[in-house]
Structure formats: structure tokens, C-alpha cells
């Protein structure tokens, strides 16, 4: 473990970061319909949708048919038509007026905020031409809102945005495409994980530089696995195995529940749904997830979505999973593992919380349990083969803030994505290095060997094939679509009918997409 990893203030407070958001059976809940427990409705059985504006009942659009394959209409944008990146402007700074100051907004907390502060301090100490000033806006959402509500001149010079606002950021016409900096500087991207770049690329342009990459992983109590007769080194890899393990745990009396689940927008109600669709090889939205042409509708209300959410609902109804609610603070699913009366043995959370959660457990959050008792496994998915969409966030340079400022922001970005910085960052936080050569640099080189828990998220990301479903959706109103989807998941896990909940959510999501496309 790196000597720079900052200790937590308190176990419970540190868990707030969790909102940041052997083999498996191979049975796919999405593709097979989970025939043992679920009857999959056909397209004609979809429930009617109530139009909230008119009060009229209308038939929902079916998402059952395979999405139409269109010729690409998301065309390449000429880089020359976009704001340039004057990477050499910093070379002309004479320093007479002091270093160039770069203001950066982010929404990191807990160990991740400690990590970005550490890297900024290290950068500032390493040279005298640039000074980085960090401002924590509290969360990704707060950062986005403040940015949208600010004038261009009031915005920061550098901003960290999550993966679900790529299209919204592009359409704001407020940033310098990172590809312009890469080309101007001759910056080598060959060692970067391709999927981290693809996530922030569309219309033939690399818009942002991936920095803090995460994906969901399974957190579990190794001691409970042993007591229940399960192999603590072989966690469940498929959703079906997640149910089977939960059944074994509950039947043994070791824990009241197998797994705790939530319906958070950036977790079980939104982000995980996208992850599960991708793992099952299913598109979340039409037109190649919006990557070959702008998406016009979501696809999660068809048989695949109904099967998936019915499966999860059945686990709750059968007493194998505990639903903690919307989990707005990002800690309730973890705290259920520490429930002295009725604990759960497993939960799903972002890999970015790993460093914080280990510190919290070592700090006595769960009596009698240390960080060594915390197991980490891949996200159990429909296919049983670990894969992951890129989560986390990337760095955007804000346009029209002066050539020297843009060049200074680019210089800091190159520092943050260097192998040395990515190695340190991964160990401090649990984020995944964006480049392969970071694994040859300390401290991550030793950590990935000595504590393989930190490597789980990395391994499932690099194991993901280059397929359309695993490139993830890119929707203009993706943030709002997640909110709508999370409400439907909450309704379902509270006992609501699956098909009507998903149909209504899809109808609302499609209206958001239509409205956004019309504006842009």
C-alpha cells in the first residue's frame, strides 16, 4: 500500500464517496430470460403508458424489435473548425507576473479528494510556471449544474466531468477538444486503454482526457463466505450465481441477506443497468447506443430489461437481497454490511470507493472485521464473464480563457495521466489506471501483486471486447435519463409491476431524447 494514502477522518463519513459513483454459469439473464424464475412478456403484452401531460392512456412504443441499423450520421467534425489548443503558448511565458494560474473544478470527496490534492501539490512543487488551484464543488452533479449556470468567463479553466455528460458538454460549445492538444503536442496515446478513450470520443473527435476511471465491483465479507461454506476466493460472477450464493448465505444463517442493493442514479438505478445491458451484449439505446447516429429511444423496456429487473425484484421478494432505497448519500448499501442485527454479506459499489472502504473497515466500522476480511470481485453480470463500461470522469479544457491558460491546463493534464501519477492515483483511490505502462511503475506495480483487490476493476475493464454494446450509451440527456430510470427501478424494488414501470420510464426517457435532439 502506498505511503501517501491518506487515512480517513471517520469510517461513516468516508463511505460517502461511494456515490461517486472461477467461472460463472454463463447463463445470461438478459438473453435467456432466466427461464427458471421469470416469464418474459412479449412486445404485445407491454402495459399502457399514462401521458402525464394530458392524462391520456396511450400504447407504449415497443423496444422489442432489434434496433435498426443506420448508416452513420454522427459524422466526423473537422478539427480545424473547433477551438485550437495552443500547447506552445506556455513556452513564451516569461514569469514576470508570476506563474500561470489554472482553476480546476472537481466533485471528488474522501480518499479521492485527498488523492487529487496530493497530485496537484506534487505538480505545483515540481515546476514554477503553473499553479493549480482546485475547487471542490461537492459532487459531479453540483459541478455540472454550476458549470451550466455560469457564463463562459466565470467557468473554470479546467473541469472534471463524468462520462454521462459527454454529449451535453460537446453541445455546450465551451471546451477545447483534447484531440487538438494531442495533435499539436504530438502526444502519444498508444499506451492508453482504448475503451477509456472511446468513452470520451464521438463524431470522430477525442473531446476529453480520461483521468479517473472506475467501474462497479462486488464487495463481500470473506469471513461470512467461509462460515457459509463458500470459497472466499471465488465470488459469484453471474447474476444467477449471485442468487445462488445469497441463498447459501441466508440458509446458513450467517447473514440475514445475501446482498444489499440500491436504486441510486449513479449506482443500482442507473449506472448498473447500463453495465448489465453491456455485459449481456445488449444495446441500451438504438442507433448503436447513439454512436452511429443520435439515439432516438432507449431499449431497456423490452424483454431484456423486463427479465433483468424481474430477476432483481425476485431476489428482494424472496428475502435474498435487501433494498436500501435510493441511497442518495452513497453509504447505505455499505452500512448494511455492518448492520449488527440483520447484515448482508455482499454489495455492489464503485471501484473508486475501494481505498476508502478498506480504511473504514480497518477503522472499526464492522466490529471484529478488518480490511483483510473485505473481498472484491468482478461485477456479477448476465453473461458470467466479467466486463465493464468506463465510469468515472475525464478532464476538459475550457475554451476562451487565453492561450497561456489553455497551455498550462494541458501541461497539468499530461502530468495527471503520466504513468507515475496514474500509478499513485490508482493505489490511493481504487481508480483504474488509464494506461498500461502505469502497471510497471510503483506503487501500483507492487500493490496489484500484493493486494489483487485493487486490480479487479482493471482486469474486468481490459477484458471487455470492443463491441458496440460495450462502448456504452452516449445520449444528450443521459443524466436525466438515469434519473427517470432510477425512479422506475425504485418502484420495481418496492414491489411495483416491472413492465409498466419500465414502459413509463422509457416513454419519459424517449421524450427527453426527442426534446434534446430537437434543440441540438
* CATH number listed for the domain at residues 79-213+391-469: 3.40.190.10
10-14, 173-177, 336-340, 400-404: the lowest-pLDDT one: 10-14
Where along the chain do its domains lie?
79-213+391-469
pLDDT tens readout for residues 431-459: 999 999 999 999 999 999 999 999 999 99
Task: Please report the pLDDT score of residue 203 as a whole number.
Answer: 81
Phi, psi torsion values for 283, nearest 5 degrees: -75, 140
Range picked from 20-29, 53-62, 353-362, 496-505 for highest mean pLDDT: 496-505
Phi, psi torsion values for 75, nearest 5 degrees: -85, 160
pLDDT band of residue 365 (cuts 50, 70, 90) is confident
pLDDT tens readout for residues 38-47: 222 222 333 3
Joined grid coordinates for residue 36? 427458471
pLDDT band of residue 501 (cuts 50, 70, 90) is very high
State the Cα torsion 249-251-253-255 to the nearest 10°: 30
Contact criterion met (CB below 8 Å) for 469 and 277: yes
Q: How far apart are CA 136 and CA 103, in angstroms?
A: 11
Residue length of the chain: 520
Give the ranges where 328-384 is alpha helix by DSSP (H).
332-335, 354-362
Task: Please report the pLDDT score of residue 310 as a whole number.
Answer: 98
pLDDT tens readout for residues 210-262: 999 999 999 999 999 999 999 999 999 999 999 999 999 999 999 999 999 99
Joined grid coordinates for residue 127? 515546476
Q: How far apart are CA 342 and CA 275, in angstroms?
A: 29
Task: Please report the DSSP string for 41-56 in residue order.
Answer: P-GGGPPPEE-TTT--
Contact criterion met (CB below 8 Å) for 149 and 55: no
Give the ranges where 15-77 is alpha helix by DSSP (H).
29-32
Residues 6+ apart with CB under 8 A from 40: 33, 303, 306, 307
Amino acid at each position: 500500500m502506498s505511503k501517501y494514502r491518506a487515512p480517513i477522518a471517520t469510517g461513516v463519513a468516508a463511505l460517502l464517496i461511494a456515490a461517486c459513483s472461477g467461472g460463472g454459469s454463463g447463463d445470461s439473464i438478459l438473453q435467456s430470460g432466466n427461464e427458471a424464475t421469470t416469464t418474459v412478456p412479449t412486445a404485445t403484452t407491454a402495459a399502457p403508458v399514462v401521458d402525464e401531460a394530458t392524462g391520456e392512456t396511450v400504447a407504449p412504443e415497443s423496444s422489442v424489435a432489434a434496433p435498426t441499423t443506420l448508416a452513420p450520421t454522427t459524422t466526423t467534425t473537422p478539427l480545424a473548425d473547433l477551438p485550437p489548443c495552443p500547447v506552445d503558448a506556455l513556452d513564451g511565458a516569461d514569469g514576470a507576473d508570476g506563474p500561470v494560474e489554472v482553476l480546476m473544478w472537481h466533485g471528488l470527496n474522501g480518499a479521492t479528494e485527498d488523492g487529487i490534492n496530493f497530485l496537484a501539490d506534487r505538480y505545483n512543487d515540481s515546476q514554477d510556471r503553473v499553479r493549480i488551484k482546485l475547487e471542490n464543488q461537492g459532487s459531479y452533479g453540483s459541478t455540472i449544474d454550476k458549470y451550466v449556470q455560469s457564463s463562459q468567463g466565470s467557468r473554470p479553466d479546467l473541469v472534471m466531468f463524468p462520462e454521462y455528460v459527454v454529449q451535453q458538454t460537446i453541445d455546450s460549445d465551451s471546451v477545447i477538444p483534447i484531440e487538438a492538444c494531442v495533435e499539436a503536442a504530438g502526444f502519444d496515446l498508444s499506451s492508453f486503454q482504448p475503451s477509456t478513450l472511446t468513452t470520451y470520443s464521438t463524431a470522430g473527435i477525442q473531446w476529453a482526457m480520461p483521468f479517473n476511471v472506475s467501474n462497479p465491483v462486488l464487495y463481500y465479507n470473506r469471513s461470512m463466505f467461509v462460515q457459509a461454506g463458500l470459497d472466499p476466493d471465488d465470488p459469484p460472477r453471474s447474476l444467477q450465481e449471485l442468487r445462488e450464493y445469497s441463498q447459501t448465505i441466508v440458509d446458513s444463517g450467517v447473514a440475514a441477506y445475501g446482498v444489499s442493493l440500491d436504486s441510486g442514479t449513479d449506482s443500482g438505478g442507473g449506472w448498473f443497468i447500463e453495465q448489465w445491458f453491456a455485459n449481456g451484449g445488449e444495446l441500451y439505446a438504438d442507433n448503436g447506443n447513439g454512436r452511429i447516429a443520435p439515439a432516438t429511444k432507449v431499449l431497456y423496456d423490452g424483454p431484456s430489461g423486463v427479465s433483468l429487473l424481474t430477476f432483481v425484484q425476485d431476489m428482494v421478494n424472496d428475502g435474498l437481497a435487501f433494498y436500501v432505497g435510493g441511497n442518495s448519500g452513497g453509504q447505505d448499501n455499505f452500512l448494511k454490511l455492518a448492520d449488527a442485527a440483520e447484515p448482508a454479506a455482499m454489495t455492489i459499489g464503485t471501484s473508486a470507493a475501494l481505498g476508502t472502504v478498506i480504511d473504514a473497515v480497518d477503522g472499526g466500522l464492522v466490529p471484529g472485521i478488518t480490511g483483510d476480511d473485505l473481498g472484491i470481485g468482478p461485477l456479477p453480470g448476465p453473461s458470467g464473464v466479467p466486463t465493464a463500461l468506463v465510469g468515472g470522469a475525464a478532464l476538459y479544457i475550457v475554451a476562451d480563457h487565453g492561450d497561456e491558460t489553455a497551455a498550462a491546463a494541458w501541461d497539468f493534464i499530461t502530468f495527471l495521466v503520466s504513468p507515475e501519477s496514474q500509478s499513485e492515483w490508482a493505489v490511493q483511490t481504487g481508480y483504474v489506471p488509464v494506461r498500461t505502462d502505469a502497471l510497471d511503475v510503483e506503487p501500483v506495480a507492487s500493490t496489484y501483486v500484493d493486494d489483487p483487490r485493487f486490480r479487479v476493476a482493471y482486469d474486468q475493464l481490459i477484458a471487455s471486447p470492443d463491441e458496440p454494446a460495450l462502448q456504452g450509451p452516449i445520449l444528450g440527456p443521459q443524466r436525466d435519463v438515469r434519473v427517470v430510470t432510477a425512479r422506475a427501478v425504485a418502484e420495481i424494488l418496492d414491489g411495483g409491476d416491472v413492465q409498466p414501470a419500465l414502459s413509463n420510464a422509457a416513454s419519459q426517457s424517449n421524450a427527453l431524447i426527442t426534446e434534446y435532439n430537437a434543440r441540438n
